[in-house]
């Protein structure tokens, strides 16, 4: 079980490939607020709903100074399909080794359909302009999460 992050912690830096294989580094986004969300698998119903909610809210999030990054263990080719199929307009990053997922405490034991399993814990973080964790939410619901996050952020 990996340690969970708390508000005020320094967000673990990362560089991961996007759907086109280009590296995206959290450090390059310093000075902006960045919403980093971890989801189990591209193209699945819950993850699609969540990505579409972020997509539909992206203009207002960006207007308020937030960038959005979605991270899953999927390979870039699958992320590209997901992006094309659902018109995702923010970077989807690939973490097949689950190093970043683990660093954020978003990979580990969870309960699914009443059974304990090891996997991706649907989680969302807001990293502030200085690289600190401003929001850390674990076990978020795919549906309605973006609306709740917007309320939490006062948007």
Residue 149: DSSP 8-state: H
Residues in CB range of 92: below 8 A, 6 or more apart: 18, 19, 42, 51, 70, 71, 72, 74, 79, 82, 83
Alpha-helix runs per DSSP H in 45-154: 45-63, 76-86, 99-103, 145-152
Of the candidates 47, 68, 69, 127, the residue annotated as catalytic is 47
Residues in CB range of 77: below 8 A, 6 or more apart: none
**Number of residues written out for the chain:** 155
Told to judge if 52 belongs to the known catalytic residues of this protein, a careful annotator would answer no
Catalytic residues: 47
């Amino acid at each position: 079980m990996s340690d969970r992050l708390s508000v005020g912690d320094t967000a673990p830096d990362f560089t991961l490939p996007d759907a086109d294989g280009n590296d995206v580094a959290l450090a390059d986004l310093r000075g902006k607020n960045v919403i980093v969300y971890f989801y189990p698998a591209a193209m699945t119903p819950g993850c699609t709903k969540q990505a579409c909610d972020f997509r539909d809210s992206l203009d207002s999030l960006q207007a308020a100074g937030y960038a959005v990054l979605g991270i899953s263990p999927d390979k870039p080719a699958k992320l590209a399909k997901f992006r094309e199929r659902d018109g995702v307009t923010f970077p989807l990053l690939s973490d097949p080794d689950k190093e970043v997922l683990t660093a954020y405490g978003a990979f580990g034991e969870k309960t699914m359909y009443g059974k304990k399993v090891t996997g991706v814990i649907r989680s969302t973080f807001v990293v502030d302009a200085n690289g600190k964790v401003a929001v850390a939410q674990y076990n978020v619901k795919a549906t309605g999460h973006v609306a709740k996050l917007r309320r939490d952020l006062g948007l």
